[in-house]
Amino acid sequence: MNITDYGIVPNYENLPGIPARITAQHKERYEIVCQHGITHARLKTKEYFVDNQDFPTTGDFVMINYIDNGDSQIIATLPRRTFFSRREPGPVPRDQAVAANFDYVFIMQSLNQDFNPKRLERYLTLAWQSGATPVILLTKADLVDDYWEFLTQVERVSAGVNTHVVSAHTGFGLLRLNAYLQPGKTVVFLGSSGVGKSSLVNALAGEEIMAVSAIREDDSKGRHTTTHRQLIRLNSGVMIIDTPGMRELGMWDVSEGLADAFVDVEAFLGKCRFSDCCHEREPGCAIRNAIATGELELSRWESYQKLSQEAISKEEMLRRKNEWHKGVAKFTRQRKKEIW
């Protein structure tokens, strides 16, 4: 077993321990893969609670003290190339990564019922923000006669992101995905329940490695407690991440991804006659002009406005992060009191 089979390991020179990658997370226990194979590990408390390190998540590369006959100790989270995070509810809101170090985000919508350009915009924003490259997959091609109209609608919101029409059932379009599914690459699937994520994984793997069923969709409880591997390495050498957290990704921190998802809108921003233009009725408003001439679609502008209102500023994000660290420190002090 070679850890480099699991992707590009970030530089860990001069760090103690050996590198490993997180393949699943179950509350406090992690499943990991390292040069000794697949094993389990837990966080080393001092390193994580006292040093305020980011807790590892599925896909993270970490450093471990390997323990042969028990759980190894995770001592450091290596820097992430890309990640998705989610806001954890609770008295002290904190952001928790739900997947890390992936190369591509396959944004999936099904052609028969799930298709929704607005949601696609949201997913695109999230994907750009993660730092990885989005790819749009329109699934269940076998269920529609004609997908050109769908592609036209996608083009209006995708700003040039690669889009593929596929069918896990017939295999239609799957060969084109080989461009992304290269050894050492990691892919995450983003999309509503039922769009065919598991079916596609199975079709790509050439075997049934994920449960596909209509029943499972209603059984959301059972889903969360299943302890299947969340990072899977296919025989082709490509990794696929599918974590429960991915299914609940919110939109609370889209600010950084907005610029990339809305290049067409951003092109007109800052070009109005008045620098404090509200883009309502002011003369010389570049946005209103662009909408009037058809260069910019009104619905795109409306989506942009809506999302930028929801987006949280970087300062706000930092403030929340600090609050979270304070919360953890307090928690640790309390725990120490209880123990001593």
> Contact region for ligand GDP (CB under 6 A) — 93-101, 179-187, 196-204, 270-278?
196-204
The residue assigned the tokens 């103690």 is 16
CB closer to Zn ion out of 35 and 305: 305
Partner interacting with residue 277 (select from ligand GDP, Zn ion, none; CB below 5-8 Å by kind): Zn ion
Residues in contact with 208: Cβ distance below 8 Å, sequence separation at least 6, in sequence order = 202
User: Is 240 a binder of ligand GDP (CB under 6 A)?
Assistant: no
Partner interacting with residue 43 (select from Zn ion, ligand GDP, none; CB below 5-8 Å by kind): none
User: Is 209 a binder of ligand GDP (CB under 6 A)?
Assistant: no
User: Shortest Cβ distance from residue 264 to Zn ion (Å)?
Assistant: 15
Instruction: Please give the Cα distance from 180 to 163 (Å, whole number).
Output: 12
User: Is 74 a binder of Zn ion (CB under 5 A)?
Assistant: no
User: Is 243 a binder of ligand GDP (CB under 6 A)?
Assistant: no
> Contact region for Zn ion (CB under 5 A) — 34-42, 55-63, 199-207, 285-293?
285-293
Q: Which of 36, 169, 216, 279 binds Zn ion (CB under 5 A)?
A: 279
Site for Zn ion in 214-243 (CB under 5 A): none
User: Is 97 a binder of Zn ion (CB under 5 A)?
Assistant: no
User: Is 195 a binder of ligand GDP (CB under 6 A)?
Assistant: yes
User: Shortest Cβ distance from residue 306 to Zn ion (Å)?
Assistant: 17
Alpha-carbon separation of residue 191 from 30, 115, 335 (angstroms): 25, 10, 39
Site for ligand GDP in 120-179 (CB under 6 A): 139-140, 142-143, 167-169
The pairing of beta strand 231-233 with beta strand 239-241? antiparallel
Which stretches of the chain bind ligand GDP, using CB under 6 A?
Answer: 139-140, 142-143, 167-169, 193-199, 212, 214
